[in-house]
Amino acid sequence: MGTTTTTTSLDAGGEDRVMAAAQQIVKSLNTAKEVREDMLLIFSSFDNRLSNITNLIKKDSDSTGVRFDAAEKVILRWDSSSSNPDTSRHSLPWEDSPHEAAEYLSAVDEILKLVVDVSIRSDNEIMDRAEAAVQLAMSRLEDEFRLILIRNTVPLDAEGLYGSIRRVSLSFAVNEGEIDEEFESFGEVDSVRGCFHDRGASLGDDLCVDLINADAVVELKEIADRMIRSGYEKECVQTYSNVRRDALDEYLVILGVEKLSIEEVQKIEWKALDEKMKKWIQAIKITVRVLLSGEKRLCDQIFNGFDSIKEICFSETAKGCVMQLLNFGEAVAIGKRSSEKLFRILDMYDVLADALLDLEMMITDEFLCSEAKGVLSGLGEAAKGTFVEFENAVKSEASKKPMQNGEIHPLTRYVMNYVKLLVDYSKTLNLLLESDEDEEDDGLQSEDSELETTTPFAKRLLLLISSLESNLEEKSKLYEDGALHCIFLMNNILYIVQKVKDSELGKLLGDNWVRKRRGQVRQYATSYLRACWMKALYCLKDEGIGGSSNNASKVTLKERFKNFNACFEEIYRIQTGWKVPDPQLREELRISISEKVIPAYRSFMGRFGSQLESGRNSGKYIKYTPEDLENYLLDLFEGSPLILHHMRRKNS
């Protein structure tokens, strides 16, 4: 019994193994159904253990057919193009029918699984139906993919993004002063309307926004997986990139970036162009740091596992948006150069240089990266060229109208405010000017000893300010009055010194440069005293009066006092109208005058005043006490002309 039982068990086990082997052989033969059946009959004649294989294969085939029919029915039920209303349904939004969506995806999975089954692949009828079902399913999934993308696109909160940009504002204003027509190249500058330069700093490093509702990303990935596995990756990529490209275009509109040709950009007036440049700078930051990084993250999520496809998707999505921004940058780079554009061009260069690093990490499209590098290079050349234009304008500005009150010239204000702001771009300008450094060395040989730093930008600044100083020296020659000539140069050189000393310019040009200019101001103050007060002081000299202090010629004394009074009154009338804006310089000048004039007047009065005071009409000659003169000196250099009328000393 034991032996018989064991044999029976072995026979059963052997039958299973033979059956499995036979099934595998038949399945591996990609032959027509009739041929397979003939081969099964032949196998069964070899061994009675194979007598049941036909039934098993038939049962398996029937089961496969049932599964296929069920999956096909689900797909056909959602065929909106079918003419049979009993077997078709119009497509509902995918998110509104999650159960039916899951059923549909399962049906697609079932057909894709059965299609790779050899037993079906050998059946031409089934394969034709399977291919038709897959094609129909992919058309439906493509529509759903597009619809989900569109419905779940998150609107851009531009105000929120702008608020997240840390803003740095730099004022660029110049004060009152008439500007000659030849000075128009320096922009519109007056006491009412100055220039204001606003630089936007970088976005926060942790700024991140969802461009597609998070719940929809899972559904999109499920659809993308089926389309790619079905060989419909081209349609999937095209649908995705088209929808997302349109979304990015809409985002740019919200950010204030218009689609403009190069010709259109170059026709825009400066004020309008400046606004567009500011919006472009913000748009570059937001586009690269937020939108494109979001798109990259989205592609990584939806097309996870398909590296080449997600790279293509991202590149195709980003290309239009990036090229639109680059086209504007190129238009600015090749546009007409003028000094007021320099700061904005440098801002554009800086923001694109930063963005390029991120772009190269995100985008594998060599053409797009090459275009971005080309525009960056163009903006760099435009910045250098504009800086050169500014230097040339400073050298050649030749307005012939002197400042009536010896005030600070508008050219001085403009240039110094301009270069003070330029210091914020030292790093960029050093980089851009480095290649030109050798060309400038010869022109700097005479000034080089003044520099405490030797960066390319510092050298160019030294040349620029030297050109300004030379221009101011020429303008000072327009004054016929030697004293006003000195006041003008004092005002302007001191203004230059203060702008340098009170900013980062001081670090570039150094303490020696500042000390030398302060020395020049003191020299001009000495020259002013000599040019202006020598005639008045000569009236207070003893020479030519005759005799001792007790018997000096009264006629001569009267003439001396009379001349001094006239001289002082004329100086007072003129120089109360002169302007020395700096309070410290104004006070120092008054003290210097007082130290020269008041002691001399007091001494002269002490020696000779008594000889006239006892006579008739003494007040006609001795009009002022030393204290009177000291008080009147406080009115000088205020910019408001005054006249001393009938100022006579009261007799006791």
Q: d(Cα 323, Cα 325) in Å, to the nearest integer?
A: 5
Same domain, yes or no: 385 and 402: no
Per-residue pLDDT tens over the stretch 47-82: 555 555 554 444 445 566 788 888 888 888 876 554
Q: With 90 as the cut, is the pLDDT of residue 173 above it?
A: no
Same domain, yes or no: 520 and 565: no
Whole-number percent of the chain with pLDDT over 70: 73
Give the number of domains in the chain: 4
Same domain, yes or no: 381 and 246: yes
Averaged pLDDT, 482-499: 96
Per-residue pLDDT tens over the stretch 283-331: 999 999 999 999 999 999 999 999 999 999 999 999 999 999 999 999 9
Residues 6+ apart with CB under 8 A from 598: 626, 629, 630
Residue type, 216: A
Classify residue 187: in a domain, yes or no: no
Per-residue pLDDT tens over the stretch 365-413: 899 999 999 999 999 999 999 999 999 999 999 888 888 899 999 999 9
Which of 452, 464, 477, 453 lies closest to 419 in space, CA to CA?
Answer: 464
Classify residue 35: in a domain, yes or no: no
Select from 534, 551, 572 the last residue of a domain: 534
Asked which of 52-56, 585-589, 606-610 is least confident by mean pLDDT, the reply is: 52-56
Predicted local confidence at residue 453, as pLDDT: 60
φ and ψ at residue 162, rounded to 5 degrees = -60, -40
Same domain, yes or no: 510 and 597: no
Both tokens of 315, joined, read 């590149």
Select from 347, 367, 396 the last residue of a domain: 396
Sign of CA dihedral 458, 464, 467, 473: negative
Classify residue 87: in a domain, yes or no: no
Kindly state the greatest CA–CA separation across the chain: 173
Predicted local confidence at residue 364, as pLDDT: 86
CA within 13 Å, CB half, 202 = 12
Per-residue pLDDT tens over the stretch 445-462: 444 455 556 789 999 999
Predicted local confidence at residue 299, as pLDDT: 95
Classify residue 404: in a domain, yes or no: yes
Q: d(Cα 446, Cα 442) in Å, to the nearest integer?
A: 9
Per-residue pLDDT tens over the stretch 113-169: 877 765 555 567 778 888 889 899 999 999 999 999 999 999 888 777 766 654 444
* Structural domain for 321, as ranges: 204-215+223-396
Same domain, yes or no: 147 and 71: yes
Classify residue 20: in a domain, yes or no: no
Classify residue 10: in a domain, yes or no: no
Same domain, yes or no: 334 and 235: yes
Classify residue 510: in a domain, yes or no: yes
Same domain, yes or no: 529 and 643: no
Asked which of 199-208, 608-617, 633-642 is least confident by mean pLDDT, the reply is: 199-208
pTM of the model: 0.77
Q: d(Cα 648, Cα 652) in Å, to the nearest integer?
A: 12
Predicted local confidence at residue 590, as pLDDT: 97
Q: Among the residues of 195-292, which ranges form H helices?
A: 214-229, 233-254, 262-266, 270-286
Q: What is the DSSP letter of 82?
A: -
CATH at residue 586:
1.20.1280.170
Angle at 632 between CA 627 and CA 635, to 5 degrees: 145
Both tokens of 647, joined, read 């100022």
Same domain, yes or no: 245 and 392: yes
Same domain, yes or no: 297 and 411: no
Q: d(Cα 176, Cα 214) in Å, to the nearest integer?
A: 58
Predicted local confidence at residue 182, as pLDDT: 39
Same domain, yes or no: 552 and 606: yes
